[in-house]
Chain A
Amino acid sequence: GAVVSQHPSWVICKSGTSVKIECRSLDFQATTMFWYRQFPKQSLMLMATSNEGSKATYEQGVEKDKFLINHASLTLSTLTVTSAHPEDSSFYICSARRPGTGTDTQYFGPGTRLTVL
């Protein structure tokens, strides 16, 4: 299998605080992980590509100072939403690309619902 976990599954925080979301590949090593954001009834929007041991690559329009990504090991990437505001409330999903598959197939975590009050 290819199992990806996320923690926490949901979080409620006050405006101005920071929130960290963890993404782990449980049964494979992932040199590349991805962070997405999804608004209700919409498709996934790629925020950034997280590469183990190097800086993340952010998509156009995504503030790298607001959404801090760290990929410290081959099985863990973290997304920190800094100084969160209500407009940051969303469903955040990570995925991991399994090496050696020869395709761009990604395996997704269960998502984290962030609500900023």
Chain B
Amino acid sequence: TQLLEQSPQFLSIQEGENLTVYCNSSSVFSSLQWYRQEPGEGPVLLVTVVTGGEVKKLKRLTFQFGDARKDSSLHITAAQPGDTGLYLCAGGGWTASKLTFGTGTRLQVTL
């Protein structure tokens, strides 16, 4: 069974601080997606990374896919209250189209 462990599980920070969320596995994935989910809603895709070592920047968010395609990180610069939510990483399989979801990181950004 493929497992994706996220850390930390919960993070409460103040507006303006930086943070990094980690997504680790012993399995190799074909791709890695990051989603953000708000209460009572479905996850919203933030990014897909497909190449080992790939780094993608979206405004204040920086995503990295590990060289070995087993891990990923999400770095947020100058967090804002609007960044509050559940962050989920998800790894793509090699033979099936289904995703393996991470354990989730709940982020709370306060004023």
**A residues bordering B, Cβ < 8 Å?**
4, 6, 32, 34, 41-46, 49, 91, 93, 95, 97, 102-111, 113
**B residues bordering A, Cβ < 8 Å?**
30-31, 33, 35, 40-45, 48, 50, 88, 90, 92-93, 96-99, 101-104, 106
Q: For residue A46, which residues in chain B have a CB less than 8 angstroms away from its CB? A: 98-99, 101
Q: In the complex, A95 Cα to B33 Cα: how many Å?
A: 14
Given A105-B45, A111-B40, A111-B42, A43–B104 Cβ distance below 8 Å? yes
Report the nearest A residue to B29, measured CB to CB: A104
Given A34-B98, A107-B45, A41–B35 Cβ distance below 8 Å? no
In addition to A103-B92, A106-B45, 20 A-B residue pairs with Cβ atoms within 8 Å of each other are A4-B42, A6-B42, A32-B97, A34-B98, A41-B106, A43-B103, A44-B101, A45-B101, A46-B99, A95-B42, A103-B48, A103-B50, A104-B30, A104-B93, A105-B31, A105-B33, A106-B33, A108-B43, A109-B42, A111-B40
